[in-house]
Amino acid sequence: MGGGRALRSARASAFSLLALANLLWAGNWIIGRALRDAFEPVALNFWRWLIAALVLAPFALPELARARVTLRRHAGLLALLALAGVAIFQTLVYLGLKTTTAINAVLLNSSAPLFMLLCSWMLERETPTRRQLAGMLVSSVGILLIVSHGAPGKLLQLELHAGDAWIVLAMPVWGLYSVLLKRRPPDLNGVSL
């Protein structure tokens, strides 16, 4: 009887954390757009990651202390992950959000899986499966339908912003980060990473 309650509680916690992760990810685009005039992109990125580091520090520091040998051994990869996923990607996103809408940015972000597949193919020589290719096709058609409001002819009249280019440029960087993340040391957990 108690096991069922514990399982329901664990599932509820997992779903709550998944919902929170999505809320924070989506909120980042909205807040980035809202603060576009208050901060330069590099400064906004710095403050975002500093606040995140301070919030996560109590949970991550014990793990980081335990894994210091692993951290030293994989310093190059970890630096590349930080450069791609923290410094470059997010700065490009904030640059884009200065001149494009949050909706455009999020729609363009939907192309990230395509770049993940491309980077995976280029770096890992992984061949996409039929299911992955079908998913890319469905996703791309969905993006086009949303952007065109169901009228493909509207795509020819689509109003693009300079920031859209920055967002598109950020997507292969996220693809690179995502592929490199698969190479992370297995003994480092997500919070410490």
Separation CA 82–CA 180 (nearest Å):
11
pLDDT at 167: 93
For the segment 107-148, what is each residue's pLDDT rounded down to a tens digit? Answer: 888 888 889 999 999 999 999 999 988 888 888 888 788 777
Separation CA 105–CA 33 (nearest Å):
9
Residues 174 and 96 sit within 8 Å (Cβ to Cβ)? no
- Return the half-sphere exposure (C-beta side, CA atoms, 13 A cut-off) of residue 174: 19
Q: Pick from 79-88, 130-139, 156-165 the range whose average pLDDT is largest.
A: 79-88
pLDDT at 2: 61
For the segment 164-191, what is each residue's pLDDT rounded down to a tens digit? Answer: 899 999 999 999 999 999 998 888 877 7
Separation CA 3–CA 1 (nearest Å):
5
pLDDT at 11: 86
Enumerate the domain spans of the chain: 2-181
The arithmetic mean of pLDDT across residues 6-24, rounded, is: 86
For the segment 24-65, what is each residue's pLDDT rounded down to a tens digit? Answer: 888 999 999 999 999 999 999 999 999 999 999 998 899 889
pLDDT at 89: 97
Q: What is the pTM of this model?
A: 0.85
Separation CA 92–CA 100 (nearest Å):
12
Separation CA 118–CA 128 (nearest Å):
9
Tokens matching residue 184 = 């992370």
